[in-house]
Amino acid sequence: MENTQTTTNNKIHPHKFTLWMGIGSIVMMFAGLTSAYIVKRNQSGWQTFDLPSAFWVSTILIVMSSVSVHLSVKSFKERGMNSYRKLLAITGVLGVAFIATQFIGFKEFWNVGMTLQANVAFSFLYVIVGLHAVHVIGGVIAIIVMSLKAFSTKKRNYSIVPVELIATYWHFVDILWIYLLIFLIMIR
């Protein structure tokens, strides 16, 4: 009788690897932007500002969406497809609400004269927060696509990989927003 050994293959899925590489790139971009912000704020003419209340509301919304996407992954793993669909849709709605409250916050800035041309501090704020919003919009689009597939009557694919990818990305944009909010509070 011959003994055979089975080895487990603990390789990361190529899509997950690609996502982590993308997240690393985004982290580097925001590290560069926040570093430049710190350097520039020491120059003369820099104006400080208070964050609009809409940014606090948007923070609550994105944290709630992170909870709902976590619960949707859990439901998917337990084959609770109705719950998965609802929670994924809730995550998408909360993502859209986050973007809307960010827009309201920028409208508050605009109404008090904090425009791109008014001061370099405001330009940095618009670029940093605006780039984050672009990444959230990308996540919302992915969630909409996932929701459409989840509600589709065509052949079902029960692969957990796409679900985990969107959840990982969504948690990332949540953590990134919390970092940016704390950064803007402490450094402004």
Alpha-carbon span 172 to 184, nearest angstrom = 18
For the chain, domains (ranges, CATH) are 51-187 (1.20.120.80)
User: Residue 184 is encoded by which pair of tokens?
Assistant: 């803007």
| Dihedral sign for Cα atoms in the order 38, 42, 47, 49 | positive
The pLDDT tens digits of the residues spanning 146-165 come to 988 888 877 666 788 999 99
CB 47 within 8 A of CB 113: no
Alpha-carbon span 81 to 10, nearest angstrom = 28
The more confident residue out of 71 and 153 is 71
* Mean pLDDT across 126-153: 91
pTM for the whole structure? 0.87
Alpha-carbon span 179 to 113, nearest angstrom = 26
Alpha-carbon span 182 to 132, nearest angstrom = 14
User: Residue 150 is encoded by which pair of tokens?
Assistant: 């989840």
Alpha-carbon span 187 to 174, nearest angstrom = 20
115 contacts: CB under 8 Å, gap ≥ 6: 109, 122
How far is it between the farthest Cα atoms of the chain?
83
The pLDDT tens digits of the residues spanning 44-70 come to 877 888 888 999 999 999 999 999 999
- pLDDT, residue 82, reads 92
Of 127-131, 156-160, 164-168, which gets the smallest average pLDDT? Answer: 156-160
